Amino acid sequence: MTDVSRLPGAAHHHWDWQLRAACRGADSSLFFHPPNERGEARDEREKKAKRVCGGCPVRAACLSHALETRERFGVWGGLGEHELRTLLGPAREERDDRDAVCRPAA
């Protein structure tokens, strides 16, 4: 089940930056890879998405949103999935699993 607890509330001021985004109205498939996309095709698609982000007036807000919500998929604020995951570290499930192994038995 999707965890939406980190998403900002419904207040307009949380989302207004999206109205000024360079990607607004663009095909989302440019920013999110299709199933089984690998190698050069994926690299080229991501480069094109990053070029859109390069001149975006709300790039910082987009990246901030992606980091706050721990977005692990797609191109956000000019960073690709690998770059985002590097900044975010392991997913919560992975951390929980590691913590469970490291906790002493009660």
Residues that constitute the known binding site for [4Fe-4S] cluster: 23, 53, 56, 62
User: Cβ–Cβ contacts within 10 Å for residue 53, how many?
Assistant: 21
Q: Which residues are annotated as a binding site?
A: 23, 53, 56, 62
- The structure tokens 């949380």 sit at 14
- With H, G, I as helix, E, B as strand and everything else as coil, classify residue 96: helix
Q: What are phi and psi of 76, to 5 degrees?
A: -135, 130
CA dist., res. 47 & res. 95, Å (int): 31
